[in-house]
Amino acid sequence: MSVPAMDITNWIDSPEYKELNFARKDLVINPAKACQPLGALICALGFEGCLPFVHGSQGCTAYFRNSLSRHYREPVGAVSDSMTEEAAVFGGQANLIEGLKNAYTLYKPGLMAVFTTCMAEVIGDDIKAYVDNARKQKAIPEDFPLALAHTPSFKGSHITGYDNMLKGFLEGLAAPRRHATHLRLYVVPGFDTYPGNLREYKRLLSLLGVTYTLLPDYSDVVDAPNTGEFKMYPGGTPLAELQEALNASGYLFLQTYSTSATLKYIKNVQKIPTETVPMPIGVTSTDKFLMTVSQMAGKSIPAELENERGRAVDAATDAHPYIHGKRFALFGDPDLLYGLTSFLLEMGGVPVHIISTNGSAAFAKEMEELLSSSPYGQEASVHLGKDLWHLRSLLLTEPVDMLIGDSHGKFAARDAGIPLVRIGFPITDRVNLHRYPIVGYAGVLNLITMIANAFLEEKDRTSADAYFELLR
């Protein structure tokens, strides 16, 4: 087709193009999802002394490590067993066994998490049998703790991989449930790329006086102090607490969609008392989280937290004029979207376009319920299975005031001429955001600060001289 470039430039911004764009069925452009093993790797980082071991092509491991290091600006160790064409023909058993031996000897892990790339999945490698053979051949000690997970990249997304790996840890390494259980509450954060969030959960649980285990907890691994000494394994949930995980007094899941298989295993198979709350973003969800913990652990909410709540609410009422009635587009993982949407609704913000590349039908239904419960949610549409090229069409044909999502959103936001507030994964073009919690009452303060100030910066940047005022 010979169309002048200028016309095409206008055309891709047009409603007609949007229609064509939304009619596409097979091509995916700028998806807001990665693949399973990335999530499995993040999960594996959360156990103390754990070395992630990727069974499959080595390039995948390089990609995962790069992606995580760019986001966290931290070292991310993981090994691959470097399967090549020979392994494609004969299977990857020899690679796995030799790889386990080398990794065990060189990096001295306390445990390893073995998960797969799509290459190993397509050829149907039986990692369970291979690992048994590795033990028999003494590549690793007979009793060396290993967790296994199949994480095919052609099913689900990174959150599925996180879930499969976490379930793999519990199935593989947790001792059977005894009748006499501990009084320890196990708290599952879900796929959450903020060490700041994990630290906030721990702080809140400590303030409540709860005996708990965060399962898993990679906050110290992806946010390690600089002391002049590199530590390969700077922290994480201790193996002993993983081994006792089925003797929990109860489980509290802080996400819904990134841990569904693990939840089923704990609740339906192991029959452990289990509660799920939405990711505690915003005042209402944080209230719910604290009340649920309080109820499960039989602890009352301390005055200190009441004051914290009061300060967060004060910040919300102070800043409401900057957010009320503003129109938002959002993209990211389902649990994050649910949390951010409920936060915006309680601030009087108006979510309009909600893009979820990796959300399920159940997610869409719960989002609809959330949105219909608020007068501010009436304009919103949830676009399931859509990508950031769809998002761009939406932004250009039905404009909003702000985009919320990860760094990949910067192109669409720029084309639409609106600010992007960076929340999610990956954030590759700003520093330190992952260190600031977006959950709990502290998270409320941070979100209000980021969103309201972004609008105010925008106003200062774009206002004419006569309207450039000291007061905002």
Distance CA 169, CA 262 (A): 10
Distance CA 265, CA 284 (A): 28
Identity of the residue, 231 or 324, whose beta carbon is nearer to other proteins in the bound complex? 231
Which of the following is catalytic: 43, 50, 114, 118? 118
Please report the beta strands in 175-297, taking only residues with DSSP state E, as ranges in sequence order. Answer: 185-188, 212-214, 250-253, 274-276
- The least distance separating other proteins from the CB of residue 414, rounded to whole angstroms, comes to 9
Identity of the residue, 267 or 410, whose beta carbon is nearer to other proteins in the bound complex? 410
Give the DSSP letter string of 280-296.
Answer: --SHHHHHHHHHHHHHH
For residues 117 and 153, is the Cβ–Cβ distance under 8 A? yes
- The least distance separating other proteins from the CB of residue 124, rounded to whole angstroms, comes to 10
Identity of the residue, 316 or 395, whose beta carbon is nearer to other proteins in the bound complex? 395
Q: How far is CA 360 from the centre of its chain?
A: 15
- The least distance separating other proteins from the CB of residue 239, rounded to whole angstroms, comes to 20
Distance CA 174, CA 8 (A): 58
- The least distance separating other proteins from the CB of residue 69, rounded to whole angstroms, comes to 5
Identity of the residue, 19 or 306, whose beta carbon is nearer to other proteins in the bound complex? 19
Distance CA 415, CA 410 (A): 9
Distance CA 447, CA 340 (A): 9
Distance CA 321, CA 459 (A): 14
- The least distance separating other proteins from the CB of residue 388, rounded to whole angstroms, comes to 9
Backbone φ and ψ for 163, nearest 5 degrees, come out as -65, -50
> Would residue 122 show up in a list of annotated catalytic residues for this protein?
yes
Q: How far is CA 454 from the centre of its chain?
A: 23
Identity of the residue, 75 or 302, whose beta carbon is nearer to other proteins in the bound complex? 75
The three-class DSSP label of residue 318 is helix
For residues 207 and 304, is the Cβ–Cβ distance under 8 A? yes
Enzyme catalytic residues: 118, 122
